[in-house]
Structure 1
Amino acid sequence: MPPASPPPYLVDNATKVASSSEPIDEPNKLQGYASAPGIIDEVTRVTDHKAERRLCRRFDIRLLPILAIMYLFNALDKGNLGNAKTDGMTDDLHFKPNQYNLLLSIFFVPFVIFAPPFSMLGKKYSPARVLPILMFSFGCFTLLSSAANNFGGIFALRWFLGMSEAAFFPLVIYYLTTFYRRGELARRLAIFYAASNIANAFSGLIAFGVFQIKGSSIPNWRYLFIVEGGVTVLFAIFAFFYLPRSAAEASFLSEEEKALAFHRIQVDSSAIVNEKFNLREALGIFKHPTTYAFLCIEICLGVPLQGVALFMPQIVARLGYPTVKTNLYTVAPNVTGAAMLLVLAFLSDYTRLRSPFIVLGFLFTFAGFMIYASIDDVKHELQLAYFATFMMTWGTSAPSVMLSTWYNNNIAHEGRRVLLTSIGVPLANLMGLVGSNVFRDQDAPKYMPALITVSAFGATGACLAGILALYMWLDNKRRDRRDGVTVHAKDIPTDRMRDGPSSPEFRWFL
């Protein structure tokens, strides 16, 4: 029996051979190239691998360190309240019971409200310009926090801090998708996001150093805000003039490299490169049921993520160390969290799989909190309790990057990509409202209700991610049977997947 013929959409324009020896001088020459997996050479593959690797290295060197440092300061300015509290901030500002939890919670309200509109502005005016402006803003509000004299003052500053940080992470994700292929994105995002873990560790080191100041006329926690906010403002000014608006406008690339960069993104990231934002078209992302599954997984991720970020000093404090050592002992778990994130992200890009590593991360979270909750006498089982804090950071780091990468890999429409990211990431952060309110003062020092709640969200996230991955795998198999040919997501140029699952040639990136 002869093999089934491929469907028409896989062989249209087949007379144009993708492996033509004609040099690619201009991006518009790439538009007509064919892409028939298994029929002719695919344009999703670039034959000059050395040139492509060289281009990626240039992006890595020029973009990733700067973005990582920017996100480090973002995480420092957002998460320094825990360190300030250990030095008596709440006593100096005469907080009433549970006002500290309210202070943590208010940050997430503007964070969610302003993320979509600010992300749309970033899409319109380029993340390379909007990101440094946002960074300058949250650096200023961190500086002003050092001058707060009461709960009302720092409460208002946390509102504006949440507003200025709202679109930062979504815009960085979108920005990187305009430079890297889908299969290259996870490890780059991991390197960038590892700065968050390093920031949590670095925050402990900064607090350790600042709290050694003796004989100061102002409390040391105020110096913490001054140091972190001041450096953030200075670096934002540098980043504004350093980051390229796009690969096409990158002064460090030659014309040939710009053409190659355009080709890579056109066939393996965006349906239309630098597409003008159209809100009505972008809202089409909500026609797909998988969108809601991704958002539910973001919710499950947000509770453990924010719980660990906001309360790691309090969790470690239960081990019985003094204030200075408590901040110091938060360093190692966060550093290993960054290392685990990098390991899983590199494995994810190597295997071109996202879902298994997301599930694994959630299981780490579940195990870490359950182990910690099961220990009655932490001082008697000090090593096991401290090891559990390591598992907590392992489990919150990897899913946060892999999940964003997963749904960005499955959305070729740039507007829909930035819209979903600008909702999904803040939604995970909104769960800080849960995380900041389950760790209640009356439950100290064990915080048993909080530990159980966070564990439950971790287990639910693992189940949802596994079910969604199974659905995608089955749907890919169904489409292959319909077409009579096995096609992988990596083999289909993204310009043919602009309409998402409604497109016949669409395949899920698992």
Structure 2
Amino acid sequence: MSLHKAQAMEDTDVKVPYTVDQDDPESHLDINIEPAYVVDHHAERALCRKFDYRLLPVLALMYLFNALDKGNLGNAKTDGLEKDLHFKSNQYNIILSVFYVPYVLGAPPLGMLGKKFGPSVVLPILMASFGSFTILTVAATNFGGMMALRWFLGMSESAFFPLVIYYLTTFYRRGELARRLAIFYAASNIANAFSGLLAVGVFRITNTSLYPWRYLFLIEGSLTLLFALFAFFYLPGSAATAKFLNESEKKLAYHRIQVDSSSTVDEKFNLKDSLKIFNQPTTYAFLAIEICLGVPLQSVSLFLPQIVARLGYDTIKTNLYTVAPNISGAVMLLVLAFTSDYTRRRGPFIVLGFLFTFIGFIIYATIDVLEQKHVAYFATFMMCWGTSAPSVLLSTWYNNNIPHEGRRVVLTSIGVPLANVMGLVSSNIFTNPTAPKYIPALVTTSAFGGAGAAIAACLALFMVLDNARRDRRLGRKLDIREVPTERLRDGPGVAEFRWFL
């Protein structure tokens, strides 16, 4: 059988169509199928740069505000929020926990609405909502008021990240997605660092009728609301309606997604068809990895100030010492994501991230942090390395393997919130009775990191073996770039399907 590979993605501008010997009944391939190529390599580069400059900075800032509004409770706690609102026993942990119930319940329906009405419309509306609830936190005077606000904050933030992921898959090809998502997601790490710096400044406010931590919510919520108004008028509905593209660029953008992202571009949402994603066994493996990711991710996001506080520093220095680990997490995220796109591999880098988590938490749990402060502080860096990279690469991994847009939205709208709902575990293992060492919490978190590494490694191995099995049936090795995604609507049920490893 003769087959000439079509060079693909960003590393070629040569079109070489392939043919298949039809006497081979196992091939199931048609003659003259257009492979995933783009004729004008330079035009594609220029188009990607336009998307990068026009979309990524705005989406990154939107996510920065999202992370600020969700994670500022930890900073406020270090400035006496519990005392000022007269919390009792574990009420702070309850407030952390209640956020995740609407966060999970609201994500699938809001994600589906985002697919129906367009992420460019729904994302700014969600942003305006969680910005408003952050501002209203200034008026909370007791446990009940704070709990109600956290409930609605969780609902308004639930579908934000899944919709951004889906939105980017409609502009970028599979091999381009991880590094773009990493740039976007790095805003979360920067937000955690910025939140620490902002808290240091805000907590110096004195001689005022408001507690200093209230200004933290007021400033962050106001900035969020203002930026949401800008985003509503700025974000394009799709590449086809983007005012910053000319007609030839719009056609090129459509072609790129049709051959290397979606089976049908801008396909209308069909719930029954989209739910078929749960017929695939790998879906449950991806969700299991999301669960394992969620505990370390939320432990670092919610409790890094408390973890660092164990080193014995005062409130100002503790918040300041959370900055460097978060910045290093953003850097590691970018390094692994760019390497992942370059090698076109997701699984190995997800496993590496989980191992960082496992080792970092184990070190912090087993050493005397007061005697070995430098080692302990380095361990907090590893914690941030290990929670940043897998979150982006995992979402990219299963989006790369789901050509059907509706199924992609459904899985992302469940998988991402599922990782976040594990904050229920984190907020109930970092308890006051175990403070300041939090040994049970550190050991539990490291165990989830180890389990995530094992499951991700097993799934990656399965994909390698299944691709090999499919190649044996075909009679030769088939590169996933040879078959356009428009032929892969039914995923693994199609003979030409190959896993994006």
Task: Tell me the TM-score normalised to structure 1 length.
Answer: 0.93
**Gapped regions of structure 2 (runs ≥ 5):** 4-19
Q: Distance in 2 between matches of 1:51 and 1:10?
A: 33
Tell me the residue number matched to 2:92: 100
Contact 2:28 2:495 in 1 (8 A): no
Alignment of 1:128-277 (within 5 A): 128-277=120-269
Give the aligned length: 483
Tell me the residue number matched to 1:12: 30
Q: Distance in 1 between matches of 2:29 and 2:147?
A: 60
Tell me the residue number matched to 2:390: 399
Cα displacement (A) at 1:11: 5.0
Cα displacement (A) at 1:13: 4.5
Any idea what the Cα deviations from partners look like across 1:391-444, whole Å, max 9, x if unmatched?
Answer: 000000000000000000000000000000000000000100001100010001
Tell me the residue number matched to 1:497: 488
Any idea what the Cα deviations from partners look like across 1:156-205, whole Å, max 9, x if unmatched?
Answer: 00000000000000000000000000000000000000000000000001
Tell me the residue number matched to 1:279: 271
Q: Distance in 2 between matches of 1:155 and 1:237?
A: 27
Tell me the residue number matched to 2:442: 451
Tell me the residue number matched to 2:479: 488
Tell me the residue number matched to 1:388: 379
Tell me the residue number matched to 2:15: none
Tell me the residue number matched to 2:296: 304
Tell me the residue number matched to 1:110: 102
Tell me the residue number matched to 2:312: 320
Q: Which amino acid aligns with 2:361?
A: F
Q: CA RMSD in A?
A: 1.3
- 1:371 equivalent among 345, 348, 363: 363
Q: Distance in 2 between matches of 1:235 and 1:466?
A: 40
Tell me the secondary structure at the aligned position of residue 30 of structure 2: coil
Contact 1:272 1:413 in 2 (8 A): yes
Contact 2:102 2:158 in 1 (8 A): yes
Contact 1:358 1:465 in 2 (8 A): yes
- 2:60 equivalent among 59, 63, 68: 68
Q: Distance in 2 between matches of 1:143 and 1:265?
A: 39
Tell me the secondary structure at the aligned position of residue 251 of structure 1: coil
Task: Tell me the TM-score normalised to structure 2 length.
Answer: 0.95
- 2:452 equivalent among 461, 467, 470: 461
Any idea what the Cα deviations from partners look like across 1:283-302, whole Å, max 9, x if unmatched?
Answer: 10000100000000000000
Contact 1:202 1:331 in 2 (8 A): yes
Contact 1:148 1:154 in 2 (8 A): yes
Any idea what the Cα deviations from partners look like across 1:58-98, whole Å, max 9, x if unmatched?
Answer: 00000000000000000000000000000011101000001
Cα displacement (A) at 1:490: 2.2
Q: Distance in 2 between matches of 1:387 and 1:85?
A: 24
Cα displacement (A) at 1:2: 9.2
Tell me the secondary structure at the aligned position of residue 139 of structure 2: coil
- 2:409 equivalent among 394, 400, 418: 418
Any idea what the Cα deviations from partners look like across 1:344-375, whole Å, max 9, x if unmatched?
Answer: 00000000000000000000000000010111
Tell me the secondary structure at the aligned position of residue 114 of structure 1: helix
Q: Which amino acid aligns with 1:257?
A: E
Q: Distance in 1 between matches of 2:67 and 2:426?
A: 17
Q: Distance in 2 between matches of 1:381 and 1:346?
A: 34
- Residue 335 in structure 1 maps to residue 323 in structure 2: no
Q: Which amino acid aligns with 1:413?
A: H
- 2:284 equivalent among 292, 300, 308: 292
Contact 2:263 2:489 in 1 (8 A): yes
Contact 2:329 2:381 in 1 (8 A): yes
Q: Which amino acid aligns with 2:216?
A: L
Any idea what the Cα deviations from partners look like across 1:230-264, whole Å, max 9, x if unmatched?
Answer: 00000000000000000000000000000000000
Q: Distance in 1 between matches of 2:206 and 2:95?
A: 28
Q: Distance in 2 between matches of 1:270 and 1:239?
A: 25
Cα displacement (A) at 1:47: 2.3
Q: Which amino acid aligns with 1:169?
A: F
Any idea what the Cα deviations from partners look like across 1:200-231, whole Å, max 9, x if unmatched?
Answer: 00000110110111211110000000000000
Any idea what the Cα deviations from partners look like across 1:267-324, whole Å, max 9, x if unmatched?
Answer: 0000000000000000100001000000000000000000000000000000111001
* Pair 148,2 (structure 1): closer, same or farther in 2 beyond 3 Å: closer
Tell me the secondary structure at the aligned position of residue 83 of structure 2: helix
Q: Distance in 2 between matches of 1:162 and 1:437?
A: 17
* Pair 423,2 (structure 1): closer, same or farther in 2 beyond 3 Å: closer
Contact 1:5 1:484 in 2 (8 A): no
Instruction: Give me the identity figure in percent.
Output: 71
Q: Which amino acid aligns with 1:414?
A: E
Q: Distance in 2 between matches of 1:464 and 1:498?
A: 26
Q: Distance in 1 between matches of 2:233 and 2:210?
A: 35
Tell me the residue number matched to 1:22: none
- 1:53 equivalent among 45, 52, 56: 45
**Gapped regions of structure 1 (runs ≥ 5):** 15-33, 36-41
Tell me the residue number matched to 1:24: none
Cα displacement (A) at 1:491: 2.0
Q: Which amino acid aligns with 1:383?
A: H
Q: Which amino acid aligns with 2:413?
A: S
- Residue 357 in structure 1 maps to residue 349 in structure 2: yes
